Amino acid sequence: MKALLLLIASVFSAAAMADEPLAVEHYSYSQHLDIAHVISTTDIANVCAVVPVRMTYEDAHGQKHILEYRVMGNGCSNS
């Protein structure tokens, strides 16, 4: 009976840990990235400035990550 209770508690504990929000990692140029599958990216702002973008991805081990990096916004024109 104790083993059954322990098993049920561990299942609920694992499920609770899976629902925790992911920590946002900030990209640096020297960082090694292990991106096996991109799940989603945020839209790039329509401004003429450097803006943050977030990419959610899975690594080769199936773990999800959120990476924040900076890109040039879509609002610049060459006129």
Q: Is residue 13 in a domain?
A: no
CATH assignment at residue 26: 2.30.140.50
Query: What is the number of structural domains in the chain?
Result: 1
Q: What pLDDT, on a 0 to 100 scale, did the predictor assign at position 12? A: 59
Taking only the tens place, the pLDDT of each residue in 5-39 is 555 666 555 555 556 688 999 999 899 999 999 99
Q: What pLDDT, on a 0 to 100 scale, did the predictor assign at position 3? A: 62
Tell me if residue 76 falls in helix, strand or coil: coil
Contacts of 40 (CB under 8 A, 6+ apart): 55, 56
Instruction: Report the percent of the chain where pLDDT is more than 70.
Output: 72
- What's the domain range around 78? 21-79
